[in-house]
């Protein structure tokens, strides 16, 4: 059933290329499978005639049946996911308002980036055990499930379950610290975009996932602006990093496309985009 709602990269019969299910990719350092969705919007308008605009604005796809035979489960699953996405969006935007005030900027400094069809993503991730990892996925005594990276977004709100270990963050002294699970709490990561807009005053959280010798589950929410949002802005006291010309518009979508294709589950987007008759971004 999962492959019916997988991305075109993994199921050629599926038209979706960005939203949906992605399986474990054999032999990669990244060792996870998951399902991802965007906001509750059907038939989203495409803001530009580019591959990236089409990809990032495609509709969500949903399971139509439950392997256990519960006819109501697909509907309940969709409702729960859409409500959770909406709640995390509001929580993240409130966090941005507090950050703006902390920089003595207008409270709604970030709001214009999210009016309309923002691209925020909700993921359900399963990290299965990794008994025979490739050599590139080893770091001394550790086996890597997701390599060290920064999220490309504004902020990430991460929910973990039970007492799953595995999340490590890079600390200021360059050591890796384990992040323990705390019931009823969310882990907040600063993304690369927010770090850039802060002029480097906020640091994007570098983190990785290591094998915890068992199944691990997590639910990250990534707050992202709309495709054509101008991200060439800077909080008070910061130095612009995207462009030296403060009047130049740098759109989020093209910026995201170039960064996203570094991740294993999206790596083939550039190759496929090169075969299209329209610009990549």
Rounded to an integer, what distance in angstroms lies between the CA atom of residue 98 and that of residue 109?
10
Which range is most confident: 60-74, 96-110, 119-133?
Answer: 96-110
Rounded to an integer, what distance in angstroms lies between the CA atom of residue 93 and that of residue 248?
25
Least confident among 34-48, 97-111, 173-187: 34-48
Q: Between 39 and 14, whose confidence is greater?
A: 39
Three-state DSSP class for residue 152 = coil
> What is the average per-residue pLDDT within 130-138?
88
Q: What is the DSSP letter of 33?
A: E
**Mean pLDDT for the chain overall:** 86
Which range is most confident: 38-47, 91-100, 208-217?
Answer: 91-100
- CB 34 within 8 Å of CB 124: yes
- CB 264 within 8 Å of CB 30: yes
Give bridge partners of residue 208 from the DSSP assignment.
168
Distances (CA, A) of 169 to 43, 149, 159, 176, 194: 38, 10, 15, 5, 18
pLDDT band, residue 268 (cuts 50/70/90) = low
Q: What is the DSSP letter of 153?
A: S
| Size (the chain), residues | 281
Q: Please give the pLDDT value at position 274.
A: 61
Q: What percent of the chain has pLDDT over 90?
A: 50
Rounded to an integer, what distance in angstroms lies between the CA atom of residue 191 and that of residue 254?
17
Least confident among 25-29, 79-83, 156-160: 25-29
Q: CATH number of 2-130+138-273: 3.30.1330.40, 3.20.10.10, 2.60.40.10, 2.60.120.330?
A: 2.60.120.330
The CA-to-CA distance between both ends of the chain, in Å, stands at 32
Please report where in the chains the tokens 């969705």 appear, as a residue.
37
Residue 281: count of CB within 10 angstroms of its CB: 20
Could you report the per-residue pLDDT of 171-195, keeping only the tens digit for each?
989 999 999 888 889 999 999 999 9
Rounded to an integer, what distance in angstroms lies between the CA atom of residue 18 and that of residue 60?
9
Distances (CA, A) of 172 to 169, 192, 214, 277: 10, 16, 29, 46
Q: What percent of the chain has pLDDT over 70?
A: 85
Return the structure tokens found at 164: 């799953």
pTM (2 decimals)?
Answer: 0.89
């Amino acid at each position: 059933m999962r492959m019916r709602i997988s991305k075109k990269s993994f199921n050629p019969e599926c038209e979706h290329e960005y939203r949906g299910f992605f399986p474990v990719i054999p032999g990669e350092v990244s060792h996870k499978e998951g399902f991802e969705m965007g906001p509750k919007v059907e038939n989203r308008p495409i803001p530009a005639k580019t591959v990236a605009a089409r990809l990032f604005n495609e509709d969500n796809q949903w399971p139509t049946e439950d392997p256990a035979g519960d006819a109501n489960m697909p509907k309940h699953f969709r409702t729960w996911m859409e409500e959770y996405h909406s709640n995390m969006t509001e929580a993240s935007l409130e966090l941005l308002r507090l950050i703006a005030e902390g920089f003595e900027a207008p409270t709604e400094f970030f709001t214009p980036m999210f009016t309309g069809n923002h691209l925020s993503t909700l993921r359900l991730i399963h990290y299965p055990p990794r008994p025979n990892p490739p050599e590139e996925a080893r770091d001394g005594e550790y086996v890597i499930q997701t390599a060290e990276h920064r999220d490309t977004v504004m902020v990430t709100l991460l929910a973990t379950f039970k007492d799953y270990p595995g999340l490590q963050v890079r600390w200021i002294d360059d050591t890796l610290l384990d992040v323990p699970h705390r019931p009823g709490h969310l882990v907040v990561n600063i993304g690369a975009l927010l770090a850039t807009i802060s002029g480097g005053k906020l640091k994007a959280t570098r983190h990785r996932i290591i094998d915890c010798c068992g199944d691990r589950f997590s639910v990250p929410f990534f707050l992202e602006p709309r495709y054509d949002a101008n991200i060439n802005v800077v909080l008070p006291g910061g130095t612009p990093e995207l462009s030296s010309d403060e009047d130049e518009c740098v759109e989020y979508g093209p910026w995201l496309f170039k960064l996203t294709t570094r991740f294993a589950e999206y790596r083939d987007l550039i190759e496929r985009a090169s075969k299209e008759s329209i610009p990549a971004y």
